[in-house]
Structure 1
Amino acid sequence: MYMFVSPNLLWLWLPTLFSYLVIPLLDAIIGEDQSNPPEEAVPALEEDRFYRYVTYALVPVLWASFLVSVIFVGTHELPWHGVLAVILAAGGTLGYGLNLGHEMGHKKTSLERWLAKITLALGFYGHFFVEHNRGHHRDVATPVDPASSRMGESIYRFVFREMPGAFFRAWDLEAERLERCGKSVWSLENEIIQPALISLVLYGTLIAFLGVQMIPVLLLIAFWGAFQLTQANYIEHYGLLRKLQANGRYERCQPHHSWNSNHLFSNWALFHLQRHSDHHAHPTRRYQSLRDFPDLPRLPSGYFGMYAIAYVPAIWFKVMDKRLLDAVDRDPSRINFEPAKRDRLMRRYRLGDAQETTTGAGVAA
């Protein structure tokens, strides 16, 4: 029988403790790196295959880590807190997988795009391949984007808008594409169905070998993995708004429509995802070439530190709302408000009768 504080079980918590305690601490100690690669070196840097091989090699590592975690739970008698520790660690691994799928899914080579689908399939989140590239990047920092958080919106409210909204937008986008090609939405060319079939085979095989008691474990791991993406989406565009122009289209996405972070260690861990401003302005640019720009909205910590802050909405709003107002020069027409809280926030921060913020639907640029 395991004791509640068994030293063997404490090891299972190390991955989660590393993410939420060690990485923010290292970010604080090592600090930020605002340097950029020289532009004349970028073409060679983009073609340097070393950086691609790093991403390729990580795919089997992530698969192995996921399988070992699930098989470990399925073949060992663990108390509930031991199972929880593995769920959080395995879900955290899926979060890295979603980030890897994000990096490769933006690329044009067939190999990288398939590796992205294979990686996303680990967490049953293959629709992200479609939703992010063709949905989020089109609608980012607008009220119509379920993956852009709003000022005054907590991460918990955001989850219930972002997760289902992302899937439905992905399905609609893929259905439209296949219809234009004269093909059925249920075709094997559906880029949502492709990774979903990999997921079904993977999860079905694990359940067949380890038993139906693994179903809730697998569902919780998949949810926690998806939540890693959701919390990243939450902090990346919080409250930032592209203006709706007279022609009914949103202005082009610019670097100042994303929150940026140059914290060194977490950027190493996330393939420079935190240089999100350049990523959205130039989405096909490879991670090793992403740049910092002056006068960007800046996060006070790397993503891992911001995740912990987001879990306590009162602290999040205290930290981020003032930063948001400074980033947009207190112009409410540049703020993506939570509609139900707009008037209250306008009064609280004394924003006056400035130009009305658009909260309706529009056509993304």
Structure 2
Amino acid sequence: MQQRTSRHQWRDPKRYMWLYGLAIPLSPFLAWLLVRYLHLGVFWATGAIMIAVICPLVDRFTRLDTSNPPEEVMHDLENDKYYRRCTYVYLPLQYAGLVFGCWMWVSQPMGWAEHLASAATLGIVGGVGINAAHEMGHKRTKIERRLAKVALAQSFYGHFYVEHNFGHHIRVATPEDPATARFGESYWKFLPRSVVGSLTSAWKYEKARLARRGVSMWNPKRNNILSAWLMSVFLYAALIAAFGWQIAPWLVVQAVMAIMFLEGANYLEHYGLLRRKRDDGKYVRVAPEHSWNSNHVCSNLFLYNLQRHSDHHANPMRRYQTLRSMGDAPQLPAGYAVLIILALFPPLWRRVIDPKLLEHYDYDLSRINMDPDKVDALVARYGQPSNPVTGR
């Protein structure tokens, strides 16, 4: 009889490594120290440097992590409260960094370029904060759902709380999902489509939910979008009252950068992937093959295993520490940090990712979610699909 592996016999080798991710919300403080003692203004961008330089270098020179927890320990690992506390502690550090950043804008000698660099650091903190909100917003506990809204307040992206759970996860890897990028669609075309589409979709879902309960759409206590937006309004008003109107433009800049970071992740997570339709016209159930997977260590530690996105969509209630590497999912050639930067340059993105997408679908365009505006060009280059839009 095979002996069952117990929680006491198996130890998570990454258990304390998840704390490394707290370097991101601490980056505004580190930026101030580096500038003060090294006298180089470039270090105001310390948060961006961590994500765009240090993290990719660590990923490049470390082995891919394809290990998964044994099935026997999954229940205990899922219920180990240490891991959720790792996400909880992100929030006070996130807002301490935001307040400290506002203080730096008004007290430190900065030119516009240094203000922009500092805003980039805070934007990365807010963008990763959206990811922390993503982790907590999927859970059933009231405290985690409330904290998800708090994490989103810095970036003024509270509607993500509604749209991601009730829109994106239902329509992912279909032409109807605004947060699923299409083959041939650049990041710069995807960005406004995802932002506007997600907002309108979230409003529609929240309106329908409240209508079923007989509640007015304009009730700020019951409307999850309005309540989240009000948090942002009060937050920004308090910061401006404390530090002056001169910080207002930079609050907007850091929020825009946080949103661009989030949408960069959205862009690459399902690029070109398509769920086929069944005979009854409905889409097949979401499977690991409908999300790109990445096993790069540093990026996953900073993003709470977000890159194990294939398992996340197949099992959205799983906590980050139990997400598995899915070998049958399409694999990204690098971590999110590198690929989000690559996405800013469409020719480079297409050169690296398009061949992998085509290989994943055996060069059958009928199975790919294509940009409707690029169908003719893609067909001319790669061949005729049976139905280029639906993949049927």
Q: TM-score, normalised by structure 1?
A: 0.94
Cα distance in 2 for partners of 1:11, 1:311 equals 22
Aligned to 1:52: 84
Aligned to 1:202: 235
1:193 aligned onto 2:226: yes
What number of residue pairs does the alignment pair up? 355
1:69 aligned onto 2:111: no
User: In the alignment, which of 15, 22, 25 is matched to residue 54 of structure 2?
Assistant: 22
8 Å CA contact 1:261–1:274 kept in 2: the answer is yes
Aligned to 1:363: none
User: In the alignment, which of 179, 184, 205 is matched to residue 216 of structure 2?
Assistant: 184
Aligned to 1:297: 330
Code of the aligned partner of 1:358: V
Query: Using CA pairs below 8 Å that are at least 6 residues apart, which structure has the higher relative contact order?
Result: 1
8 Å CA contact 2:276–2:390 kept in 1: the answer is no
Cα distance in 2 for partners of 1:97, 1:186 equals 27
1:217, CA displacement in angstroms?
1.1
1:339 aligned onto 2:372: yes
Aligned to 2:65: 33
Please list every run of 5 or more consecutive structure 2 residues that lacks an aligned counterpart in the other structure.
1-37
8 Å CA contact 1:244–1:358 kept in 2: the answer is no
1:357, CA displacement in angstroms?
2.7
Counterparts of 1:116-127 in structure 2, within 5 Å, are 116-127=148-159
Cα distance in 1 for partners of 2:180, 2:274 equals 9
Cα distance in 1 for partners of 2:331, 2:210 equals 39
| Deviation by residue 1:199-238 (Cα, 9 ceiling, x = unmatched) | 1111011122322232211111111111111000000000
User: In the alignment, which of 97, 101, 114 is matched to residue 133 of structure 2?
Assistant: 101
Counterparts of 1:162-173 in structure 2, within 5 Å, are 162-173=194-205
8 Å CA contact 2:78–2:319 kept in 1: the answer is yes
Aligned to 1:83: 115
Aligned to 1:243: 276
* Aligned Cα root-mean-square deviation (Å): 1.6
8 Å CA contact 1:259–1:277 kept in 2: the answer is yes
**Could you tell which deviates more after superposition, 45-54 or 213-222?**
213-222
Please list every run of 5 or more consecutive structure 1 residues that lacks an aligned counterpart in the other structure.
1-5, 361-365
**Could you tell which deviates more after superposition, 15-24 or 220-229?**
15-24
1:251, CA displacement in angstroms?
1.1
1:25, CA displacement in angstroms?
1.1
Identity %: 44
1:133 aligned onto 2:165: yes
Q: TM-score, normalised by structure 2?
A: 0.88
- Please state whether the residue corresponding to 2:357 is helix, strand or coil: helix
Cα distance in 1 for partners of 2:188, 2:175 equals 18
Cα distance in 1 for partners of 2:363, 2:156 equals 41
1:344, CA displacement in angstroms?
0.9
Structure 1 residue runs of 4 or more that deviate by more than 3 Å after TM superposition: none
8 Å CA contact 2:126–2:258 kept in 1: the answer is yes
Cα distance in 2 for partners of 1:124, 1:244 equals 36
| Deviation by residue 1:311-355 (Cα, 9 ceiling, x = unmatched) | 110010011111001111222222111111112112212x33x32
Aligned to 1:11: 43
Cα distance in 2 for partners of 1:68, 1:328 equals 48
1:283 aligned onto 2:316: yes
**Could you tell which deviates more after superposition, 108-117 or 202-211?**
202-211
